Structure 1
Amino acid sequence: MTDSIATDSIATVRRTAVQTEADRVSADLARRGVDVDAVRARYRQERDRRVRPDGATQYRRATGSFGYYAKDPYTPRTDREPVTTDVEVLVIGGGFGGLVTAARLRGHGVEDIRIMDEAGDFGGTWYWNRYPGIHCDIESYVYMPLLEEVGTVPRWRYAPGEEIRQHAMAIGRTFDLYRDTLFQTRATGLRWDEDDDVWTVETDRGDHFRARFVVTSSGTLTEPKLPGIPGIETFRGHTFHTSRWDYGYTGGTAEGGMTGLADKRVAVVGTGATGIQVVPFVARDAEHLFVFQRTPSTIGVRDNRPTDPAWAASLRPGWQRERQENFIRTVSGAPVDEDLTRDGWTATARIQRTMITGTVDERVDPAERERLDELLDLQHMTDVRARVDEVVEDPATAAALQPWYRYMCKRPAFSDRYLQAFNEPNVTLVDTADTGGITRMTETGVVVGDTEYPVDCVVFATGFEVGVSGVLSGSLPVHGRGGTMLLASWARGPRTLHGFTTHGFPNLFQLGPLQNANSVNFVHVLQDQADHIAELIRSARATGARYVEPTRDAEDAWAATIRATAIDNDAFRAGCTPGYYNREGTATTGNTSFGPGPVVFRDVLADWRAHRMDEVMVTT
């Protein structure tokens, strides 16, 4: 009885604290003249202005007549003989997920590893994306993996893309991963050989070999997409996608100096994370820049700066893991003694949980917690909109750049140069909200409504097809036991154990966001996934298991766990302006992430490995 009274008392105190904070924030908003109901109405209005009936089909893939957008402009293609030698572990994907997995396997004594990637070198998204101004938006000390193992400290708090790409290559050298890697190679088929318990692998280079284990880490943001603008194929000027930046046309480097644009009128289409970084550099170098915006991004302060040499010299062994752990716990809502990062991500952790999973206090009434979350969100977004007014000199432009939606409706952006670029006389913002985007293209320009903007060059900063790379897109057919296709086995929804393995597809491991945890620093999540997969393979080799495969019952139990724990944010996403978070505002599909977040998920995996891992080790 005493324990029950104590529990009730604590719950009352917490509920009172939440109510008190909500009242304090509400009073602050009232003092600033913010009408909560009016803002809600404005959010609905701004959403409705932008929703298109064609939804996600408004985009087209960079294939067919637009396939040149997806070609490799960086590494000349070299001919080679088909590979037929077998391998113990095949890792498909040379980005950070594949690299860390291979590095962990090396640590377990696995020598026979082959990495395969369509790019000409390691780096994944950092190989393809080399546009002007590219930087990571997560602090580089926690974003770039294996810093201590490689023996380096990033030169900048938010590292430029080239430094990150070079670090990926350094991982490859440090762990001797180049020796059997197949670059410029795409896997075209995986088929399970039931007689020999191996995967047969085919590629677009005529390779045909076998692998005991296959790990897929082909990413979720690798397939560039283009807007399906009427007349796009008739434009006679120059076009390219930001993920295949054409420095042959623009001149310069990722640091700028694009002298080829000095006499050019340039259109940048898209104002998401990429456009935010590109615009200031094109504005500086082009004769005139037109920025075509459908929905403005939230622009927080970046505050990038060089790494302090004295701080770097003071770091002790284990510093990166400690900092990474601190960051992921902070943004996931887990308790920490101190926020070591103190940036825009950690400062807004509480209002990120509408989209990013994490720890919440279940003893607080959900309605009370939701009220506080909305008020904190509104308080922050009011500050974001106020900053636009402070920085942008033209009132009409400032008004168009203000984001009217909840904070996590779109991935937040951070920049100390983007808003300032609109104060330059050669920069014009073209808002396309009321026309549903760009109306059409002509031979010489871009049309919005009845107005044509003559341009010489169009740069598409329109992002990627989210979550459709490799296996999930069907571009890599996977045939398991009995010839069953993986996607066919998921026809009624994904079936996995912890997101990594599927019954009927032995020794196949998948990295990615499916049915596991998520975080704003997904590279940390990939590190945890790599640890888990490497431990599964290590155990299989140590115990002499024929293969690793979960049971149907284990898959069903995990699916039930996902359903029970996943945050139901469909209503939140439905109220957002259209974007890839809600499939362009036309549909929500439910949340398939582990609700308690990556910190708890890691503990779940550790406990499972300690007590139940033998259940997936098939020895007979």
Structure 2
Amino acid sequence: MTSPHDEPVALSMDAGGDTPYGFDPDALRAKYRAERERRIRPEGQGQYRRPDGEFGYFAEDPHADPEFTREPLTDRVEVLIIGGGFGGLLAGARLRQNGVESVRIIEKGGDFGGTWYWNRYPGIHCDIEAYIYLPLLEEVGYVPEWKYAPGDEIRRHACAIGHRFDLYRDVCFQTGVTGLRWDERESEWEVATDRGDLIRARHVIVSTGTFTEAKLPGIPGIETFRGHTFHTSRWDYAYTGGDADGNLHRLADKRVALIGTGATGVQVVPHLGADAQRLYVFQRTPSSVGVRGQRRTDPDWAASLTPGWQRRRMDNFLRLVTGNPVDEDLVADGWTSTARLHSKVIPNNGFADLPPEEREHLYEIADFEQMNEIRDRVAAVVEDPATAEALKPWYRFMCKRPAFSDLYLQTFNRPNVTLVDTSDTHGVERITEQGLVVGGVEYEVDCIVFATGYEVGASGVLTGRLPIHGRDGVALLDHWKDGPRTLHGFYSHGFPNLFQLAPIQNSTAANFVHALDERAQHVAEVIAAAHQRGIRRVEPSAQAEEAWVRTIREKAADLHAFQAECTPGYYNNEGRPRARSESYGDGPVAFHALLRDWRANGGLDDVLAPHHRTNGHHG
């Protein structure tokens, strides 16, 4: 049920005989605009706060050894990788496959896994099919147990990659890098850490992820609450009981508030609703929730797989969701069935042969049809009309990352679960010693769980929390003062032997790990080529860098108008879409082909200058 002050909104989208669609596009456009305006906040990203100062405990590691200590390191490695998530693991694995043995990963967590190390909340699953999301399955010799893997299975697979490629040999866990400085005389990087290390590395690869910094809402009074609080990325099972499969038995006598109904909230709500005495779900904007269709892996299917099966499946999915022709849909899920709508986030070839005006019209109509189906599902599943109305998403399909669940909507039929719609108050108004206030109504609770997400894309490099100084002491952020400047998104002029795996000036994908693997393979082959040729430095020329920046600008998809009409969220910078895209406008399939062609046809000569030759050290 909804909170008492929420009433169902009467709105007919039935156009009768006026349109050929069975709905009124003008009425939908007006409804979308109205719902967007209800949620816009003038402070944009300023509505959130970092978990530091008195809230620093929100960022602490509950899984690592609090007594861990070691002596500072002052040694040398050939390649140092910052980050032990899938990006760092893939970089390490691909380097080992290319014959580079001296590899060290530095990771602030207590083990490998990245996002999947930190996030262990109840119900956690990947929303991309496990057979294409979990990397290096054939190399590790593993087939996932479920079509959509739970977090524990993903984390165990990350550790298995670490063992398979001997990446535990020289790793530094529970360690954060505090700065990088280029030593011109020695042609290597000085890497400083928060454990007093001063490590020298010929090459540095930065893979610190895009979902690394948890954020909290800047709600007035948040510091006054006398109950218990935690962020979903640091789930407190000591308080709730249970584990990632649920059974949160210690909540049986607890009133719980959950703030946030994005992808994490959709997974957490069914377990909180099942076990808490009372659950209040505070929602600003509903997610679009499609059918998940979870199932166990068929052992006969797994036994039938032939070598190369994962790469074929990954490529099939990527081609399909970016509008490229395929003979069959190997994955067949909620992502592939909506492929033609993905171009509003990732460049897509769908409808590419049509004139722009007709293409946009067809996109919009297909979008309306998809969202009507999602809203119809809400109405069919949720029994209370007011609650169902509040759970209906009124925005374009790719304004927010789609969610999938077979349990979320059903949870709102439980008598102990209340949906509190905060769209008219721009979120929770304030927090008191006893609870949360919305619309003048105070909801007294024992615990507040923040499912408020992350500073998306706010890596230490971009925020300056990982300062990088290249040749002549120039700071990377100063070099990027007018926007990122790279070749292919990996390296910048004036910063030799520094590689980045972030989704900047390259291309990303719905299956983010696939894009990471393509980047890791490219970087590993470039470094291996430098070793084979005896080259000290890998660095693009200023001309090559400028040419790539120009290519990014010329090919960038213009999504500003679309995102400006979206309800606020992290896709559109909380309603303030950025002026330009930093993604390769021809999409990931074309970008990956471009990298392969570049490597095969002399591109390496542009970054492996002969005057950067070494004395034969090969790592």
Instruction: Please tell me the TM-score bracket, short chain as reference.
Output: over 0.9
Question: Which residue of the partner structure matches residue 20 of structure 1?
Answer: none
Shift of 1:444: 0.5
Looking at structure 1, the residues matched to 465 and 247 of structure 2 have their Cα atoms a distance apart, in angstroms, of 38
Shift of 1:323: 0.5
Question: Which residue of the partner structure matches residue 87 of structure 1?
Answer: 77
Question: Which residue of the partner structure matches residue 4 of structure 1?
Answer: none
Question: Which residue of the partner structure matches residue 448 of structure 1?
Answer: 438
Task: Determine which of 287, 291, 296 is the counterpart of 2:281.
Answer: 291
Question: Can you give the 5+ residue segments of structure 2 that lack an aligned partner in the other structure?
Answer: 1-14, 612-619
Looking at structure 2, the residues matched to 563 and 587 of structure 1 have their Cα atoms a distance apart, in angstroms, of 16
Structure 2 counterpart of 1:133, which letter? Answer: G
Question: Which residue of the partner structure matches residue 516 of structure 1?
Answer: 506
Shift of 1:52: 0.7
Aligned partners of 2:16 and 2:22 also within 8 Å: no
Give the 5 Å matches for 1:571-586: 571-586=561-576
Q: Is 1:330 matched with 2:320?
A: yes
Aligned partners of 1:574 and 1:588 also within 8 Å: no
- SS state of the match for residue 104, structure 1? helix
Task: Determine which of 72, 80, 86 is the counterpart of 1:96.
Answer: 86
Where does structure 1 differ by over 3 angstroms across 4 or more consecutive aligned residues?
26-33, 360-363
Give the 5 Å matches for 1:429-578: 429-578=419-568
Question: Which residue of the partner structure matches residue 395 of structure 1?
Answer: 385
Question: Can you give the 5+ residue segments of structure 1 that lack an aligned partner in the other structure?
Answer: 1-25
- SS state of the match for residue 199, structure 1? strand
Question: Which residue of the partner structure matches residue 66 of structure 1?
Answer: 55
Q: Is 1:593 matched with 2:587?
A: no
CA-to-aligned-CA distance 1:549-575 (integer Å, 9 cap, x gap)? 001111111111111211100000000
TM-score with structure 2 setting the length: 0.95
Structure 1 counterpart of 2:495, which letter? Answer: F
Give the 5 Å matches for 1:95-494: 95-360=85-350, 362-494=352-484
- SS state of the match for residue 214, structure 1? strand
Shift of 1:31: 6.6
- SS state of the match for residue 499, structure 2? strand
Shift of 1:618: 2.4
Percent identity between the aligned chains? 63
Looking at structure 2, the residues matched to 600 and 315 of structure 1 have their Cα atoms a distance apart, in angstroms, of 28
CA-to-aligned-CA distance 1:464-491 (integer Å, 9 cap, x gap)? 0011122122111000000000011100
Looking at structure 1, the residues matched to 17 and 555 of structure 2 have their Cα atoms a distance apart, in angstroms, of 34
Looking at structure 1, the residues matched to 20 and 558 of structure 2 have their Cα atoms a distance apart, in angstroms, of 33
Structure 2 counterpart of 1:73, which letter? Answer: P
Q: Is 1:614 matched with 2:605?
A: yes
Q: Is 1:56 matched with 2:45?
A: yes
CA-to-aligned-CA distance 1:413-471 (integer Å, 9 cap, x gap)? 00000000000000000000000100000001011120000000000000000111221
Shift of 1:30: 4.5
CA-to-aligned-CA distance 1:67-111 (integer Å, 9 cap, x gap)? 110110011130111111111100000000110110000011111
Structure 1 counterpart of 2:61, which letter? Answer: D
After superposition, the Cα gap between the structure-2 partners of 1:28 and 1:76, relative to the gap in structure 1 and judged at 3 Å, is: farther
Question: Which residue of the partner structure matches residue 3 of structure 1?
Answer: none
Shift of 1:619: 2.9
- SS state of the match for residue 320, structure 1? helix
- SS state of the match for residue 574, structure 2? helix
Structure 2 counterpart of 1:449, which letter? Answer: G
Aligned partners of 2:340 and 2:348 also within 8 Å: no
After superposition, the Cα gap between the structure-2 partners of 1:327 and 1:29, relative to the gap in structure 1 and judged at 3 Å, is: farther
Looking at structure 2, the residues matched to 301 and 361 of structure 1 have their Cα atoms a distance apart, in angstroms, of 26
360-369 or 40-49, which deviates more:
360-369
Looking at structure 2, the residues matched to 199 and 593 of structure 1 have their Cα atoms a distance apart, in angstroms, of 28
After superposition, the Cα gap between the structure-2 partners of 1:97 and 1:439, relative to the gap in structure 1 and judged at 3 Å, is: same
Greater helix fraction, Structure 1 or Structure 2: 1
Q: Please give the root-mean-square deviation of Cα atoms over the aligned residues, in Å.
A: 1.2
Shift of 1:32: 6.9
Looking at structure 2, the residues matched to 128 and 490 of structure 1 have their Cα atoms a distance apart, in angstroms, of 30
Shift of 1:359: 2.5
CA-to-aligned-CA distance 1:254-283 (integer Å, 9 cap, x gap)? 001111101000001000000000000000
Shift of 1:302: 0.2
Looking at structure 2, the residues matched to 427 and 400 of structure 1 have their Cα atoms a distance apart, in angstroms, of 14
Looking at structure 1, the residues matched to 263 and 178 of structure 2 have their Cα atoms a distance apart, in angstroms, of 31
Structure 2 counterpart of 1:164, which letter? Answer: I
- SS state of the match for residue 428, structure 1? strand
Shift of 1:27: 10
Shift of 1:339: 0.5
Question: Which residue of the partner structure matches residue 14 of structure 1?
Answer: none
- SS state of the match for residue 209, structure 1? strand
Looking at structure 2, the residues matched to 288 and 30 of structure 1 have their Cα atoms a distance apart, in angstroms, of 45
Structure 2 counterpart of 1:617, which letter? Answer: L
Shift of 1:209: 1.4
Aligned partners of 1:200 and 1:211 also within 8 Å: yes
After superposition, the Cα gap between the structure-2 partners of 1:210 and 1:40, relative to the gap in structure 1 and judged at 3 Å, is: same
- SS state of the match for residue 135, structure 1? coil
Shift of 1:589: 3.0
Question: Which residue of the partner structure matches residue 35 of structure 1?
Answer: 24
Question: Which residue of the partner structure matches residue 12 of structure 2?
Answer: none
CA-to-aligned-CA distance 1:298-329 (integer Å, 9 cap, x gap)? 00000000000111111111111111110111
After superposition, the Cα gap between the structure-2 partners of 1:30 and 1:415, relative to the gap in structure 1 and judged at 3 Å, is: farther
Structure 2 counterpart of 1:581, which letter? Answer: Y
Aligned partners of 1:73 and 1:244 also within 8 Å: yes
Looking at structure 2, the residues matched to 466 and 280 of structure 1 have their Cα atoms a distance apart, in angstroms, of 25
TM-score with structure 1 setting the length: 0.95
361-370 or 58-67, which deviates more:
361-370
- SS state of the match for residue 190, structure 1? strand
Shift of 1:354: 1.3
Q: Is 1:44 matched with 2:40?
A: no
Looking at structure 2, the residues matched to 159 and 522 of structure 1 have their Cα atoms a distance apart, in angstroms, of 15
Aligned partners of 1:573 and 1:588 also within 8 Å: no
Looking at structure 1, the residues matched to 220 and 310 of structure 2 have their Cα atoms a distance apart, in angstroms, of 49
How many correspondences in the alignment? 595
Shift of 1:157: 0.3
Aligned partners of 2:81 and 2:207 also within 8 Å: yes
- SS state of the match for residue 281, structure 2? strand
Structure 2 counterpart of 1:122, which letter? Answer: F
